Structure 1
């Protein structure tokens, strides 16, 4: 079995060395064996595992959720329905965040439209609204 140094793992996975170390500390990848001289020796499948983590994070999954997905991946008794349910929950979470961001944008547009950008700071409708109005 060929092993890889941390630098090779990082390059192949498209991350930095510190990310590899972080994933190791977080238990997302297995702690590697060490050479006689103390260098980490990662198995080749570590690259695929890091790519999995990166892709899941890019889709909005937290590290905790990624850890759960990884545990489902290695358990042959589990059903893909569990993964689908988690993905659907993530979709609902993303949709809620989009709604929240749209509300935030709408409010900011209204506030900036109310401000002509001239005049004294004490008359700024944006600052006044932030100070005195309840935001949605």
Structure 2
């Protein structure tokens, strides 16, 4: 199948396929006599594997390692669990950071309960300080 057909089957854009080829996650495609990239069912399966990994937020190095393990069935899959455990830790840290950000935004928003002229806006005043976080925390 040609690159457009592969993109359609994998529900992605052709630039995505070329990107994964450049990064070495997807092998270089065979070429037809007229120099079109030609892909196989295995290429589609690999692309879907990569896209599933990306949908979980895995990084390219993490995906590269999972592809390596996937391609070598005799390798111990302990690294798969290690990879996911590390990624899960990162997600939990991001969730904590987002929860803190959410609370800071709520505190900041509370500085302007009754909107009026912008000259008296507590939100704008807090954002004008050296650090909006400091002004939110000091309230």
TM-score normalised to structure 2 length: 0.85
Question: How many residues matched?
Answer: 132
- Partner of residue 58, structure 1: 55
- Partner of residue 123, structure 2: 126
- Partner of residue 17, structure 1: 14
Give 1:1-136 correspondences, 5 Å limit: 4-115=1-112, 116-121=114-119, 123-130=120-127, 131-133=129-131, 135=133
SS of residue in 2 equivalent to 1:101: helix
Return the alpha-carbon distance in structure 2 between the equivalents of residues 129 and 77 of structure 1.
Answer: 58
| 1:36 positional shift | 1.2
Return the alpha-carbon distance in structure 1 between the equivalents of residues 32 and 104 of structure 2.
Answer: 58
TM-score normalised to structure 1 length: 0.87
Return the alpha-carbon distance in structure 2 between the equivalents of residues 52 and 125 of structure 1.
Answer: 49
For structure 1, the 5+ residue unaligned runs are none
Choose between structure 1 and 2 for higher RCO, CA contacts under 8 A separated by at least 6 residues: 1
For structure 2, the 5+ residue unaligned runs are 135-139
Instruction: Extract structure 1 runs of 4+ deviating beyond 3 A.
Output: none
Return the alpha-carbon distance in structure 2 between the equivalents of residues 41 and 132 of structure 1.
Answer: 56
SS of residue in 1 equivalent to 2:126: helix
Return the alpha-carbon distance in structure 2 between the equivalents of residues 71 and 99 of structure 1.
Answer: 32
